[in-house]
Chain A
Amino acid sequence: MTAPTTTTSADTATRSRSTGTRATRVIGVVTVIMMGWLVAFGLGFSPADRDQDEAVRIMYVHVPTVWVAYLALSLAAVCSAVYLFSKNHSLGFDRFAGASAEIATVFMALTLVSGMLWGRITWGVYWQWDARLTSFALLLVSTIGYLAVRGLGGSHHQRAKRSAVVMLLVVLEIPLVHWSVRWWRSLHQEATVLDTDLDPDIDGLMLFSLFVGFIAFSLLYAWLVLHRTRALAMQDMLDDEGLDRALAARRAEGAPQ
């Protein structure tokens, strides 16, 4: 997927007064189908686990949501860097970064909730301040901080510039979160699929169900980020329109009667 430019988002929003296009409708339909597959495999076809029993099914939401959160933050960082270092400083990249970070926040919250439910069943506790959980909570708070910075006010380019710098710092926490279970001893287990020997210790059907989850949630992210980026473009246009009206009204006040 490529990041939409200012022209694309603005054009879409202006033409139809809607955030939907043929492409997003197709992605939406495919997402619903894949979610159906995920429900079938996650709750039906995949087996229970030897130790966790049925609680293993939480993994089919927990792992894909954190994967999408990492993906969303990484793309937000790439778009932030492109905005900062490109010559034309296109606001389209800024809006994509903002939209992607919002979705990352939602997915991280889902990861936390699903992880806490799994932890209560498996570990016996909802939460512990170990390296993985603490660093992940820090990443979530940092991302919320990024969204707060976006709302500080000022012009669109002021917003884009300062939030891009923050995002480039936030994204550095992802390796810390991912490798925390290797660098330190943690209650959270090490990575299974993305382990270093690339030979995951997981049942084949469980791995396939997880793969279906990756596809389903990635498509959901694509659908959400396209709509949200266009919504942010419309919001910016609305702000500009309001500013233009205010300026015109002010000029009219000063004009001779």
Chain B
Amino acid sequence: MVLVAAVLVAGGVIVAQFLRSAVDYYCNVDEVGVRSGCDADRRVRVQGIVERNSVNSTGGDTSFDISFNGARMSVVYDGEPGGIFKECLPVVVHGTYDAPTNTLLGDRVEVKHSDEYVAVNDERLTEADELADECTA
């Protein structure tokens, strides 16, 4: 039993340490083309925060900018993003990256909810608006 437990722990360490890039669900905006597993010439899932005042819907397409750690890229998505998509929330966009135009051609957008739960009321909304103003900073 001790041996089995030791083997399982060792397996867990291997998975956690050496397969990180394979298990990680997404790359951050600043890691595309930089981090292992986030190569720019293949299909990627990119996580970033939707920039304020960047969302535009035209002809069935939705375009917006996402940023993370000071890096920024444009996203063109063929459709209307689902979920609770809105400005200043983190999203994960699936697609292919076009390096010359710094644009991610997305075919799926998922909204990544944080671990914060804030009640809706006027006071909180004011606070949220203040936070939203800061999201592009």
* Interface residues, chain A, with chain B CB atoms under 8 Å away: 47-53, 55-56, 59, 120-125, 128, 130-131, 165, 168-169, 172, 176, 183-187, 189-192, 195, 201-203, 205-206
Say how far A162's CB is from chain B's closest CB, in angstroms: 13
- A and B contact pairs by CB, cutoff 8 A, 14 listed: A47-B121, A51-B86, A59-B117, A122-B113, A123-B110, A124-B85, A128-B25, A131-B23, A172-B8, A184-B25, A186-B25, A189-B114, A192-B115, A201-B115
Instruction: Compute how far the CA of A49 lies from the CA of B85 in the bound complex, rounded to whole angstroms.
Output: 14
Contact call A124/B120, Cβ cutoff below 8 A? no
Give the distance to chain A from B1, nearest Cβ to Cβ, in Å.
7
Contacting pair B81 A124 (CB below 8 A)? yes
The distance in angstroms between the C-alpha atoms of A99 and B8, with both chains bound, is 26
Top 7 A-B pairs, shortest CB-CB distance: A124-B82, A124-B83, A47-B119, A203-B119, A50-B118, A202-B117, A130-B25
Residue of B nearest to A48 (CB): B120
Known interface pairs A51-B89, A52-B84, A124-B109. Does A185 touch B24 (Cβ–Cβ under 8 Å)? yes
* B interface size (C-beta, 8 A): 37
**Interface residues as binary, B52-90 with A (CB distance below 8 Å gives 1, 0 otherwise):** 000000000000000000000000000001111110010
Q: Which residue of A lies closest to B112 (CB)?
A: A187
Contacts of B10 in A (CB 8 A): none
A51-B84 contact given A185-B47, A189-B112, CB 8 Å threshold: yes
Is the pair A50, B119 in contact by a Cβ cutoff of 8 Å? yes
In angstroms, how far is the closest chain B Cβ from the Cβ of A146? 15
Known: A50-B124, A124-B82, A184-B25. A206 touches B119 (CB 8 A): yes
Nearest Cβ distance between residue A205 and chain B, in whole angstroms? 7
B137 at the interface (CB under 8 A from A): no
- Tell whether A203 pairs with B117 under 8 Å between CB atoms, given A50-B125, A172-B5, A184-B25: yes
B84 / chain A contacts, CB cutoff of 8 Å: 51-53, 55, 121-122
Contact of B92 among A165, A187, A195 (CB under 8 A): A187
Known contacts A172-B5, A205-B119, then 13 further A-B pairs from the complex at CB < 8 Å, ordered by chain A residue: A48-B120, A49-B119, A50-B125, A51-B89, A53-B120, A121-B84, A124-B81, A165-B1, A184-B20, A185-B24, A187-B92, A190-B115, A206-B117
Say yes or no: A123-B24 contact (C-beta < 8 A), given A49-B119, A176-B12: no
Find the A residue at minimum CB distance from B24: A185
Given contacts A124-B85, A130-B25, contact A187 B117 (CB under 8 A): no
Please determine whether A183 and B118 come into contact, CB atoms closer than 8 angstroms.
no
Q: Please tell me which one of the listed residues A49, A122, A201, A205 contacts residue B83 in the complex, with CB atoms under 8 A apart.
A: A122
Question: What are the residues of chain A within 8 A of B134 when measuring CB–CB?
Answer: none
**Contact residues in A for B82 (Cβ distance below 8 Å):** 124-125
Residues on B lying within 8 angstroms of A by beta carbon are 1, 4-5, 8, 12, 16, 20, 23-26, 47, 81-86, 89, 92, 108-121, 124-125, 128
Residues of the A chain whose Cβ atoms lie less than 8 Å from the Cβ of B4: 169
Residues of A within 8 A of B5 (CB): 172
A50 and B120 form a contact (CB under 8 A): yes
Task: Please measure, in the bound complex, the distance between the C-alpha atom of A212 and the C-alpha atom of B58, giving whole angstroms.
Answer: 46
Given contacts A131-B23, A201-B115, are A49 and B120 in contact (CB under 8 A)? yes
With a cutoff of 8 Å between Cβ atoms, the chain A residues found around residue B109 in the complex are 124
| A187 in contact with B119 given A50-B128, A128-B25, A169-B4 (CB within 8 Å) | no
Q: Which residue of A lies closest to B25 (CB)?
A: A130
